Structure 1
Amino acid sequence: MPFVPSWNLRTDAPVALVQSGAQGTFGFGPLEPGRYGLSAVTREGSVLFSKRIEVKADEPGGPRELRVPEDRVAWDVTVVDETGAPLPGAELRVVRVGMPYDDVAFPPATTTGRFHLETPREGSYSLIASAPGFTTRMHPVPRLGEALVVTLERAADEAMRRAAVDWVRRNGLRLQSVEAGRGVEDLVPLQPVLQDVRVVALGEATHGTREFFQLKHRLFEFLVTRMGFTVLALESNFAEMLALDDYVLTGRGDPARLLKGETWDTQEVLELVRWMRQYNEDPSHPKKLRLQGVDMQYSPAAVARLLAYLTKVDPARAAQLQAPLAPLTERNAGTFLRLPRQRHREMSALLDTLAEHFERERGTYTRQSSPEEWTLARQLLRVLRQYLGRVLHEEGAERDRAMADNLLWLLEQEGPGTRAVLWAHNGHVKRGPDEWGDMPMGRHLAKALGPALYAFGFAFHQGAFQAFNMDENPPPERKGVVEFSAPPSPEGSLDDTLARAGAPLLAVDLRALPRGGPAYEWWRRTQLTHDIGFIYSDQGYPAEGSVRALECYDGLLFVERTTRARPNP
């Protein structure tokens, strides 16, 4: 057993890396108090993982034993350059995905760039490949046992980076403020960029940044008042957002209460919702704004609204469906997933049959309600089928495909010429492929809309944000959604390069980049960038991801320093 690393869960860098003796024994230490993982790679390539280790002050560490699992899968990995040539000296990390932290093993580097691995059959895996002079890449392992080729691209040199900074300085649009209500004259240069665009997608590098949310509010006001956009679609559940849409249209309800439980339960989003209501109250605006959700992660509201509609048009069928649909009336899918697989198949068949029934009874149902009510109920049923497909993992990337379909449905319902703003995470709005091989929502939309989709990625250099603390046992004051802080992005990263342009607030139109020269060579390459979702950790959850900005986005919006979004009381 020649290679035994241990790593602190605050970082994926090994804190001890040792080679065992002839009998497979090893030792290292002492270790600082904390939580650690232990892994090993045998000479034959078998990857072993231990349970987590808790090191406490003034307590000696006990012996640990790692065993080669009997049920394991053999597979080969080759790390190559962009020409397909194997990379001598390449290094590989084997990551077994887990919550709240991954397990990581470190096979020794090879002189050929080729690795033979034998891993436990259970679990989901990814690889992190690196080589001197090349950009580190994370690569998914879709199916154990299949040979994999991981391609690394040569890292950009300093001349390319300087050219990228110079191009941003010359062509970036310096914005005056993130706050709405301060005029939009500095945004006017975006009009020719967006004049033929039907959907402007606004990403975000975290789900809890005040400046991102404020800037989206300001951009939405600009797009509404100067360019005729009328729909705001959030990465939020379709059925749950219907009540907020009703508030925006009619004033019914309390928007602060209706935001409860949403990722967007913040003062910044509440201010935007109230602005939309004020806009709609003005009789000089005949075309009213709509606030919609495109997601499908929960089912209770969709079930309740669907049954309410059926109670109106077909009471007998509504009564028949109450019990069969009961497993979908809980927000947590755990109860449903614990049911026997036969029940899962029955639920899927039930929703398929109900969809066929809706089509057959369209005329009857419409006469007893209205065409608009039937259409909405039919969409609620569609969302339930999307939700079921996702929780049962019937298809990969079901969520992003469903969100794209739901946005296109919203555009169709609003009529020809409708223009929408889409609000979601960077990982959903980007046009390019996902690191894991999945198609994000933006890629589906790009196939449908072509250049009529303009996707803005959001980036920041450093600062605070809020996220759900995924630590297993945080202190009481650190439970739930709390404030975190991200340090400056590494030198040479996307965020660092944008910061070197010298503007605290910046818009960059990547469609204007010349397709040639050193600046283009930098922008077409993979770069590190802050990539944080709804979860984070006091123990050092990774803050960096990678992106090919030119492939994934049409433009970028950059904030040099950020603060936490303000939770509603």
Structure 2
Amino acid sequence: MAHDTTDTLTDTVHAVDPAALLGLLPVRPRILALGEPTHGDGTLLDLRNDLFRRLVEQEGYRTLAIESDCLRGLTVDDYVTSGEGTLDDVMEHGFSHGWGAFAANRALVRWMRAHNAERPAEERVRFAGFDSPLEITGAASPRQALTALHAYLAAHVSANLLPCTAQALDRLLGTDGQWTEPAAMRAPSRSAGRTAEAARLRLLADELTALLDEQTPHLIAATSHADWDRGRLYARTATGLLRYHHAMADTSPVRMARLVSGRDGMMAHNLLALAARGPVFVHTHNSHLQREKSTMRMDGQPVEWWSAGALVRARLGAEYAFVATALGTIRHEGVGTPPPDTVEGLLYARPEDRFLVDPARLAAALGDTPPAPRVSPWYGYAPIDPARLTDIDGLVFVKDVTPDTV
């Protein structure tokens, strides 16, 4: 059966290029999302860079969004669009989760800056982090987003419209350490998310966001659409962080579900905002982009939530496209040659090092009884679920990778 299936796939195997990829889709997507099944691999980042460059040059894409802090990403965007700052500073301060240390990300930022250097504003490429300011150990203080939102409004609307002064906001925020307390991730009682001050801050964030919306015509005229759009990012981030901190203080059984769904919800809102200004190419883990409900076990309990991709798909329909990536071997982590009776094993038998497959045709070739899922000995690699092939729009296969160490 594997031999027959391999022959059937010959007509649906394509080079990984924009024309072939967009040719699999019913409409041109506003969000074209490329997933990866593991983080930290230079080969996959190089593939992302190459595909983005060709999407820019051949298809008019202008924005790349990656799984990095949305506020830090403003530093990168300022550099690539206007040359503000230095490359070293941007790589150190413009990325979260260690992404600034990867050579492929440095090469990406350098290319984006060179591409933009002699182009008018409307032709420049843009960078965005679409993750919220969260790390595995906790969440950032809402100070940066909340005070930036207040400052933007205070500079352009009447003071009597503001719900509070900057000084009052500062007093309510207190020290940043109480917000970033690492123990709060495991101990809800250590979280500042449900204090009286936090409750007041949530109300003020809501009022400031409403004021931003109500004053939209004036603010765009007084500043620019880009400045107003940045104000909206501050508003989304402030309210999202305060909601996340509130969930961190939760002691109920649904605490972890609220945290993971809250993060993906913030991701989804950032992606939708980016798509409003033009087509976006997104790169992150497959799990954040999938359409089906996400599930995992945490502390022995099942946790379910809708991923950012599922949330965006519900809003955009076919204008959201998800292309997953699957791997053969991961040499550095000991993920060896995939068993021949798995999807990865079937694709590994082909001679090409990397290629694009139509997952609907692959699913049809596999028949009514899909093969068993591949089992990874390493927690950091998530194999493709053969029962979910029809839930993705494209499948990129990369035969062998060696993750970077940073």
TM range (shorter): 0.7 to 0.9
2:348 to 499, 504, 511: 499
1:528 to 374, 378, 384: 374
Determine which structure has greater relative contact order: mean sequence separation of CA pairs < 8 Å that are 6+ residues apart, divided by chain length.
Answer: 2
Aligned to 1:120: none
Q: Residues 278, 520 of structure 1: CA spacing in aligned structure 2 closer, same or farther, 3 A cutoff?
A: farther
Cα deviations by residue, 1:179-231 (Å, 9 ceiling, x for unpaired): xxxxxxx6543353356222210111111011100000111111111111111
Unaligned runs of 5+ in 1: 1-158, 176-185, 466-483, 532-539
Q: Residues 428, 542 of structure 1: CA spacing in aligned structure 2 closer, same or farther, 3 A cutoff?
A: closer
Cα deviations by residue, 1:506-555 (Å, 9 ceiling, x for unpaired): 111224x1875x524355x6623659xxxxxxxx6474556234143211
CA contact (8 A) 2:290 2:307 kept: yes
TM-score (norm 2): 0.78
Aligned to 1:432: 292
1:259 to 64, 74, 91: 91
1:215 aligns with 2:75: no
- Structure 1 residues 249-258 or 223-232, which shifts more? 249-258
CA contact (8 A) 1:268 1:565 kept: no
In terms of fraction of residues, the more helix-rich structure is: 2
Whole-angstrom CA distance in 1 between matches of 2:193 and 2:81 = 43
Whole-angstrom CA distance in 1 between matches of 2:11 and 2:383 = 27
Aligned to 1:167: 8
| Cα displacement (A) at 1:333 | 5.0
- Structure 1 residues 545-554 or 377-386, which shifts more? 545-554
Q: 1:30-49, aligned counterparts within 5 Å?
A: none
CA contact (8 A) 2:191 2:245 kept: no
Q: Equivalent pairs: percent with the same residue?
A: 23
Q: 1:211-290, aligned counterparts within 5 Å?
A: 211-260=43-92, 262-263=96-97, 264-265=99-100, 266-283=102-119, 286-290=122-126
- Structure 1 residues 424-433 or 328-337, which shifts more? 328-337
| Cα displacement (A) at 1:306 | 3.0
Aligned to 1:324: 172
CA contact (8 A) 1:300 1:331 kept: no
Whole-angstrom CA distance in 1 between matches of 2:219 and 2:123 = 28
Amino acid at match of 2:242: L
Whole-angstrom CA distance in 2 between matches of 1:345 and 1:334 = 21
Amino acid at match of 2:203: A
| Cα displacement (A) at 1:408 | 1.0
| Cα displacement (A) at 1:367 | 6.8
Aligned to 1:140: none
Unaligned runs of 5+ in 2: 135-139, 185-189, 248-254, 297-303
Aligned to 1:560: 399
**Match of 2:294, SS?**
coil
Amino acid at match of 1:521: D
Whole-angstrom CA distance in 1 between matches of 2:121 and 2:4 = 46
In terms of fraction of residues, the more strand-rich structure is: 1
Q: Residues 168, 221 of structure 1: CA spacing in aligned structure 2 closer, same or farther, 3 A cutoff?
A: same
CA contact (8 A) 1:168 1:498 kept: no
Q: Which has the larger radius of gyration?
A: 1
CA contact (8 A) 1:494 1:529 kept: no
Aligned to 2:309: 442
Whole-angstrom CA distance in 2 between matches of 1:376 and 1:389 = 20
Q: Residues 310, 335 of structure 1: CA spacing in aligned structure 2 closer, same or farther, 3 A cutoff?
A: farther
RMSD of aligned Cα (Å): 3.2
1:403 aligns with 2:252: no
Q: Residues 300, 351 of structure 1: CA spacing in aligned structure 2 closer, same or farther, 3 A cutoff?
A: closer
Whole-angstrom CA distance in 2 between matches of 1:329 and 1:281 = 40
Q: 1:285-300, aligned counterparts within 5 Å?
A: 286-296=122-132, 297=134, 298=140, 299=142
CA contact (8 A) 1:300 1:330 kept: no
TM-score (norm 1): 0.57
Whole-angstrom CA distance in 2 between matches of 1:285 and 1:312 = 25
**Match of 2:305, SS?**
coil
Q: 1:433-472, aligned counterparts within 5 Å?
A: 433-436=293-296, 437-464=304-331
CA contact (8 A) 2:69 2:131 kept: yes
What is the total number of aligned residue pairs between the two structures? 365
| Cα displacement (A) at 1:171 | 1.6
1:197 aligns with 2:197: no
Cα deviations by residue, 1:27-67 (Å, 9 ceiling, x for unpaired): xxxxxxxxxxxxxxxxxxxxxxxxxxxxxxxxxxxxxxxxx
CA contact (8 A) 1:366 1:374 kept: yes
2:200 to 346, 363, 378: 346
